Amino acid sequence: MLRTLAGWCVRHRRLVVLIWFVVLVGASLLGKSVGSAYSNSFQLPHTQSTDAIALLQSAAPKNAGDTENIVVATSGGAKLTDPAIAARVDDLIKKVETLPHVVNVTPYTSALGAKHINADQTIGFIPVALSQQLNALTQPEAKTFVNAATSTAGGGLQVSVSGQLGELSNPQALGNGTLLGVILALIVLLLVFGSVPGPVGTYCMIRKVRKAK
């Protein structure tokens, strides 16, 4: 099928270039007319997950949100249970507890959080229960959360937010990661399949047909 398509493109190369040009211009005009009013709704009516969330919101609003994890780690031989480090982690927890939408923080020093720290006491995570779904929070709210969580980092203590709020607080890094993924995908297509999408892929197929002839 690809050989037939490539042969047709060779015989009608002017038409192929014209089609690509029309598609490119049409896609550009369509994108401008539609605009950037994206929908960020995860509500799927009559599904089990949506019904469960609705039930929680009506019966137990404080338990209807998502959970975000704050990961803490030490370096230089220090432990999370060392008095100086433990005091800074406690300060971190107090700051996070005062934030909007935060309903519960489970430190690894509590009975429920005892399993959230490794045997060497150098890495642990702190679950933070929220009253909202993560997709309902804004970028400023995510940034405020991350800034509060990482405010005590440094001096042998590393702090990171592991989930969606961490990504939302820095959209530029997420965009750079997406761009890198696209570039790597193009490289894989080029090396493994010998073609890449779009006009370049058509050009590669045309070259192969000419060599075969």
pLDDT value for 178: 63
* Residue bearing tokens 């599904």: 47
192 has a pLDDT exceeding 90: no
pLDDT value for 209: 47
Name the strands in the sheet holding 102-105, side by side, starting at the edge strand that comes first in the sequence: 102-105, 123-130, 67-74, 157-161
pLDDT value for 109: 86
pLDDT value for 195: 53
Identify the sign of the CA torsion 48, 52, 54, 55: positive
pLDDT value for 28: 84
User: Where does 151-170 have alpha helices with state H?
Assistant: 164-168
**More confident site: 179 or 101:** 101
* Residue 121: C-alpha distances to residues 26, 112, 115, 116, 127 (Å): 59, 16, 11, 10, 17
Q: What is the mean pLDDT of residues 34-60?
A: 67
Residue 51 has which token pair? 């019904």
* Residue 87: C-alpha distances to residues 79, 83, 131, 142, 144 (Å): 12, 6, 27, 24, 21
pLDDT band for 52, please (50, 70, 90 cuts).
Answer: confident
71 has a pLDDT exceeding 90: yes
Domain ranges of the chain: 48-168, 171-213
CATH number for the segment(s) 48-168: 3.30.70
pLDDT tens, position by position, 95-152:
999 998 898 899 988 888 889 999 999 999 999 988 887 777 888 888 899 999 998 9
Please give the mean pLDDT across all residues of the chain.
79
Which value, in Å, is the radius of gyration of the alpha carbons in the chain?
A: 26
Portion of the chain with pLDDT greater than 90, in percent: 24
